[in-house]
Amino acid sequence: MSDVSVMTTASGCHIFSGCGYPAPSIADFYFKPIFTVGGIPITKPVVLAVLAGAIILIFFYVAFRKPKLVPRGTQNLGELGVLFVRDQILRQQLGRKGDKYLPFIVAIFFFVWIMNVFSLIPLIQFPATSKIAFPAGLALVVWVTYITIGMRTKGPIGYFKQMAVPEGAPWWILPLLSPVELFSNILVRPFTLAIRLFANMLSGHLLLLVFGLASWYLLSLSIGLLFAATSFLLTIILTGLEVLITALQAFIFATLTSFYIADATETSH
Amino acid sequence: MNGRREQESGRDPSQPLPPGEGWTFLSYMIGGMILYGFVGWLAARWTGWPVLFPVGMLLGLASGIALIIFRVTRS
């Protein structure tokens, strides 16, 4: 819980008691450093990111420590996850020959998903991905990866040509269209990749905060009780929506990553 | 579900576009508008004709849509 919501619930601020609605704001996304390591302040989102990495590491270690032909227990779950990413995300874009990128896509998908899901875990209740630094860092990794893959499969000049020359366009329109194609492939892609994830998680968390705080604030022995109940109902419905969004955003992030890799390895286009 | 790689030469019009393609369209339109909008804005500042800014944005949007059309109809 962020500092502001702690303050609100602790203060017992309610409607008709003379205090205004403590609206959540962007300040709720800034945390005091918990401790510092070598001068670098460690805040809650950083801890959450490390925790997400640790959860994935431990889970997959336990799942595939002693792999058996007939999977049981954790291994079953792990295989379910890996096969989902392979069949629903990777092979949709790259086909069978993309299987060598499976570890990368699995890592991306689960890392983003766990960081998103922190939005809904009681007592944690904060998606690390709603801080722009994490989506931006991930997008940078994806950007470097697909450009490197493109240059290795087609050579720097061939890849540049593919990114600058849209296929099927007549030659006389190229001076107009090539800058857009290049701009879209090199700059817009990583930016939209990062901002889509960041904005979705930020707005989702803010929505939950608005209605969560409102159901506490509106609570009083008056008509406010009805308002509070409505607000609480909305909190529950929006939490359900967030369950969907957290998975969907991780899915889109991983899908687009494999799409960009596919675009970089594709020969004819 | 063979993925798009099986159709290297041209797109089978009976098959749906691969997922991810839609985001490419969005990025063409945003990219076109930002790029030529910026060029138009610069031109508007230099020449003192403010109309060049919206003209640039429209040109960018048109380029983005043209790119989408060429991408979808490539054979």
> Which chain A residues touch B32 with a CB distance below 8 Å?
180, 183-184
Going by C-alpha positions, the residue among A158, A165, A15 that lies closest to residue B71 is A165
In a mutational test of the A interface, the residue from B5, B6, B12 whose CB has the highest number of chain A CBs within 10 Å is B5
In a mutational test of the B interface, the residue from A89, A143, A180, A183 whose CB has the highest number of chain B CBs within 10 Å is A180
CB contact under 8 A, A180 and B6: no
Question: What is the C-alpha to C-alpha distance for residues B24 and B67, in angstroms, rounded to an integer?
Answer: 10
Residue of A nearest to B62 (CA): A177
Provide the domain limits for residue A254: 3-265
CA distance to partner chain A, nearest, from residue B19 (Å): 8
Q: Is B2 domain-assigned?
A: no
Q: Is B5 domain-assigned?
A: no
Beta-ladder partners of A41:
A36
CB contact under 8 A, B24 and A184: yes
Provide the domain limits for residue B61: 17-73
Question: What is the C-alpha to C-alpha distance for residues A101 and A261, in angstroms, rounded to an integer?
Answer: 9
Q: Is B8 domain-assigned?
A: no
**Which residue's structure tokens are 């904005």?**
A199
Establish how many alpha carbons lie within 13 A of residue B2's alpha carbon, considering only the half-sphere containing its beta carbon. Answer: 7
Reported as a pLDDT band with limits 50, 70 and 90, residue B75 is low
Beta-ladder partners of A37:
A40
CB A129 within 8 A of CB A110: no
Answer yes or no: is pLDDT of B64 > 50: yes
CB contact under 8 A, B75 and A168: yes
* Number of domains, chain B: 1
pLDDT, one tens digit per residue, over A142-170 is 999 999 999 999 889 988 888 888 877 88
Residue of B nearest to A196 (CA): B23
Highest mean pLDDT among A32-46, A95-109, A211-225: A95-109
> Which residues fall within 8 angstroms of residue B31, CB to CB, at 6 or more apart?
A180, A183, A184, A187, A188, B60, B64
Q: Span A214-233, mean pLDDT?
A: 86
Q: Taking an 8 Å Cβ-Cβ cutoff, which residues of chain B contact chain A?
A: 1-6, 8-9, 18-21, 23-24, 26-28, 30-32, 34-36, 59-60, 63-64, 66-67, 70-71, 73-75
Question: What is the C-alpha to C-alpha distance for residues A16 and A244, in angstroms, rounded to an integer?
Answer: 36
Q: Decide if A166 touches B, using CB distance below 8 A.
A: yes
CB B68 within 8 A of CB A216: no
CA distance to partner chain B, nearest, from residue A171 (Å): 12
DSSP tag of B18:
P
Q: Span A17-31, mean pLDDT?
A: 80
pTM of the model: 0.85
Question: What is the C-alpha to C-alpha distance for residues A263 and B17, in angstroms, rounded to an integer?
Answer: 14
pLDDT, one tens digit per residue, over B26-51 is 889 999 999 999 999 999 999 999 99
Q: Is B23 domain-assigned?
A: yes
DSSP tag of A20:
-
Q: Is B3 domain-assigned?
A: no
Q: Span A60-87, mean pLDDT?
A: 88
Going by C-alpha positions, the residue among A251, A247, A249, A30 that lies closest to residue A131 is A30
Answer yes or no: is pLDDT of A7 > 70: no
The dihedral sign for the CA sequence A201, A202, A205, A206 = negative
What's at A95, amino acid-wise? G
Q: Is B65 domain-assigned?
A: yes
> Which residues fall within 8 angstroms of residue B74, CB to CB, at 6 or more apart?
A167, A168, A269, B10, B11
> Which chain A residues touch B67 with a CB distance below 8 Å?
166, 169, 177, 180-181, 184
Answer yes or no: is pLDDT of A132 > 70: yes
> What is the b/e burial string over A122-153, where b = at least 16 CB atoms within 10 angstroms of the residue's CB?
eebbbbbbbbbebbbebbeebbebbbebbeee
Output the pLDDT for position A214: 87
CB contact under 8 A, B31 and A183: yes
Tokens of A55: 């959860």
Q: Span A99-115, mean pLDDT?
A: 94
Q: Is B6 domain-assigned?
A: no
DSSP H helices in chain A = 3-11, 44-63, 73-84, 91-94, 102-117, 133-164, 174-183, 189-217, 224-265
